A and B are shown apart, each in its own frame.
Chain A
Amino acid sequence: MTAPKTLYDKIWDAHVAHEAEDGTTLLYIDRHLVHEVTSAQAFEGLRMTNRTVHAPDKTIAVPDHNVPTTLDRADPATMTEESRIQVGALDTNAKEFGIHYYPVSDVRQGIVHIVGPEQGWTLPGMTVVCGDSHTATHGAFGALAHGIGTSEVEHVLATQTLIQRKGKNMKVEITGKLKPGVTAKDITMAVIGETGTGGGTGYVIEYTGEAIRDLSMEGRMTVCNMAIEGGARAGLIAPDETTYAYVKGRPHAPKGEQWDAALAWWKTLFTDEDAVFDKVVTLKGEDISPVVTWGTSPEDVLPITGVVPAPESFEGGKVDAVKRSIAYMGLEVGQKLTDIEIDTVFIGSCTNGRIEDLRAAAEVLKGKKIKEGMRAMIVPGSGLVRAQAEEEGLAQIFKDAGFEWRMAGCSMCLAMNPDQLAENERCASTSNRNFEGRQGYKGRTHLVSPGMAAAAAITGRLTDVRDLM
C-alpha cells in the first residue's frame, strides 16, 4: 500500500518529468498563460538563443495589465506609447510563435486568470503557470497553479517544464456556514489576517471545509487568488461536482470519451485520509465577519466593526511598519473603520471581476445612487463577463446608480493603465493588494468584497454591507 497523499502530492507526482538525486525536479507544465508585462523579455530571450516555444498548443496569451478600459479603447491614442509597444510586442510574439491569442479586439479578451477558466483551458489536476503572482486563482479547480518570473517564463516557453523543489503542505479549513453578508473575499482576507503575509511562504495551501465546499467556482477562485497574499505560491481546492459542472461544455474542456476519461481521473484528486499536513489552520465560518484592510499590507485585516489599531499592539518590526502604514493611510489610532470616508470605488480584478461578484454588487446597488462626487467604476474581468452582466440587466443597475461601466482588464488593481488614484485619494477596492502606491502614487487602498465596495459607494465611507441588506 502506498503512503497517503495530499492533493498537492498527487498533482506533483503526476507531473515529474525528471528528478535529480537532490530532489531538484523538472515539473511538466500543462498550461502556460502569458500576458504582456512579463513576457516580452522572455520571447526576446528565445530569439537571441534561436530557441522555439516547445508546446505552443499549451500556451495562451492575452493582454490585460496595460489595456485601457474606456469604451473608446479601439483608438490607439487611448494608450501611452510605452503601453502600445508592450501590447504590440505580445501581438507580434503570439503570431510569430504560433500560440493561442485573445487580442484586445476579441470579445473573449480579459484578465488572464478569468479568461483561462472561462475558456476551459484550466482543468483539474493540471499544472498551470503564468508570469503573474495571481496565477494561484486557478487552484480553485484543483490545479497546481502559481506565478513565475520572466526567466521562468522563458524556461517554460523553451522546455514546457519548471525547475522546482517540492513545497510543504498546509491545510486551511473553514468549517460550518458563512453568515449573511460574508463572502469568499472575507474568507480569504480573514485567513491572511490570521496567518500574516509570510505565513504561507514555502507552502501550498489546500482549502477545505464546509464553507469552502459551499462556494461556487467564482468564490473558490477568489479564495485561491489571494493565497499568494498569504505568502503561499499556490492554493488548492479539490475538484467536486461544482467544478465538473463549471468546466463541462467550455470551449477547451474535453468532450465525449475524453470527458469520461478525464472525469474518472479527476475523481481521484483529493487528499487521502490520514495524509499529513505540515501546518493546519482552522477558522469557523460563522466567526468570519465582513472585513476590510486598514493598512498597507494585506495582513492588516479587521472586521468592519473594528477600529484602527495602535502600533504598540504589534510586535517586532511590525510596530514601525504599522506606524508607517497609519501615516501613509492618513488615519488615526482608534478611529472607527466605518468613519473612514472614501472618494473612489473600484470593483473588478482577477480577485473579484467575475459574474458572481457583479451580481453581489448589483444586489446592493439596485435602485440606489452612489454618493455625489464619488468616482466609481466597475471593470468586468472579461468581455464575456461584461456581455453576461448586460444580458442579466446588471450593467443597467450600475449605470443607473452612477457607476462607470468599463471594458475588461486589470485596470485600477495595479494601475498600469490610466485608471489610477491621485495623491491622497482613498479607494474601497475589490482588488488584492493595498501596498503603498499600488493604485497610484500616494493613493490609499482599502480592500473589501464587492458588496462592501458597493455599500461604500452609496454612503461615501467604509460601510458594513449588512446594514444595507
Chain B
Amino acid sequence: MEKFQTLNGVAAPMPLVNIDTDMIIPKMFLKSIKRTGFGANLFDEMRFNRDGTEIADFVLNKPQYRNAEILVAGDNFGCGSSREHAPWAIADFGIKCVISTSFADIFYNNCFKNGILPIVLPQDQVDVLMEDAEKGSNARMTVDLEAQKITTSDGQEITFDVDAHKKHCLLEGLDDIGLTLAKKASIDTFEASMQQERPWV
C-alpha cells in the first residue's frame, strides 16, 4: 500500500450530507475484477450527463478543483454499501484525504486499506476547512499525519485524532495481512481451543 505521510494539496468542498457509496461509484461500474481504473467514474452521475459530457457546475469539473487531492465533505460521508470500489475510485482519481464530521463505518475502514486518510472533526472545524476549500486552487491545505495536524491556506492549524494502529499502517504503507500472519500462532491456539469448546462451528 502507498504510504501517507504529508500532503499539500487543493481541497474540494462537497457540503452535501449523506453522500452515499452509490453516488461515489454507481453500481454499473462494479463489474470490473480489478482494483484500478475506477477514478474515471468517481461521482459518475453527479459528474457526467448521460451522453458522457461533463456537468459544468459539479465541483470536481470546475477548473480550480480538477486536481483536488483533499475532499471536505458533509456529514455521514460514505454511507451505504461496503463496496471498496468507493475508496478505489477516490484514490484512483487522486484524492488522498477526506474530511467530514462523520463517516460510515465500513467506508472509513476501507479508506485506510487504500492509502486514504479519513479525518473526523467537529462541525465548527469542518466549517473552517469548508470555507478554506471554497477559495479554490490558490488555497492549498497541508495534512500532516505524523503530527496529526491540518494547516489551512492562511496558516490556521487544526489537530485531529486517529487510531494509533491505523496511523502506523498508513505512515508506513503496511500490509495488514502480513502483520496478522505474524500472529498466526495466536490464531492457531485460538482455533484449537474452539475445536474443544465449540466443535459444531
Contacts and interface: CB of A to CB of B under 8 A. Distances in A.
The yes or no verdict on A and B being binding partners is: yes
A415 B28 CA distance: 8
Contact of B31 (A24, A86, A261): A86
B177 interface: yes
Nearest to B16: A321
A82 B37 CA distance: 15
A274 to B, nearest CB: 26
B163 A165 contact: yes
A149 interface: yes
Nearest to B32: A82
Nearest to A153: B84
A28 interface: yes
Nearest to A433: B80
Contact of B186 (A17, A86, A261, A415): A17
A159 B185 CA distance: 11
A161 interface: yes
Interface string A228-260: 000101000000000000000000001000110
B199 A163 contact: no
A49 B163 CA distance: 27
Contacts of A158: 177, 180-181
Contact of B102 (A28, A160, A198): A198
Contacts of B45: 436-437, 441
B183 A123 contact: no
B105 A148 contact: no
Contacts of A316: 17, 75
A46 to B, nearest CB: 9
B66 interface: no
Contact of A49 (B31, B50, B105, B177): B177
Contact of A435 (B22, B106, B163): B22
Given A22-B164, A51-B177, A321 B113 contact: no
A151 B110 contact: yes
B106 A317 contact: no
Contact of B22 (A197, A261, A437): A437
Interface stretch (A33-41, A337-345, A368-376): A33-41
A38 B187 CA distance: 25
Contact of B82 (A38, A261, A265): A38
B30 interface: yes
> In this complex, which of A65, A198, A438 has the most chain B Cβ atoms within 10 angstroms of its Cβ?
A198
B147 interface: no
Contacts of A65: 30
A26 B75 contact: no
B81 to A, nearest CB: 5
Interface in A103-156: 123, 125-126, 131-133, 135, 146-152, 154-155
A91 B25 CA distance: 25
Nearest to B23: A436
Interface in A301-331: 316-318, 320-321, 324
Interface string B189-201: 1110010001111
A28 B74 contact: no
Interface in A331-388: none
A162 to B, nearest CB: 9
Contacts of B110: 149, 151-152
Interface string A431-452: 0010111100100000000000
A28 B191 contact: yes
A83 interface: yes
Contacts of A123: 200-201
Nearest to B111: A149
Interface in B4-34: 15-18, 20, 22-23, 26-28, 30-34
B176 interface: yes
A317 B16 contact: yes
Given A132-B82, A155-B177, A436-B22, A198 B187 contact: no
B41 interface: no
A209 interface: no
Contacts of A80: 31
A244 to B, nearest CB: 13
A415 B164 CA distance: 39
Nearest to B201: A30
Contacts of A258: 199-200
B60 to A, nearest CB: 17
For A149, A161, A201, the residue with the greatest tally of chain B CB atoms inside 10 Å of its CB is: A149
B84 A150 contact: yes
B177 A159 contact: yes
A416 interface: yes
B17 A321 contact: yes
B113 to A, nearest CB: 4
Nearest to A46: B177
14 contacts: A126-B201, A131-B82, A149-B83, A149-B106, A149-B109, A155-B176, A160-B187, A198-B18, A231-B105, A317-B16, A321-B17, A437-B23, A437-B26, A437-B45
Given A147-B106, A148-B82, 7 more contacts: A18-B190, A26-B183, A30-B201, A37-B30, A66-B31, A158-B180, A321-B74
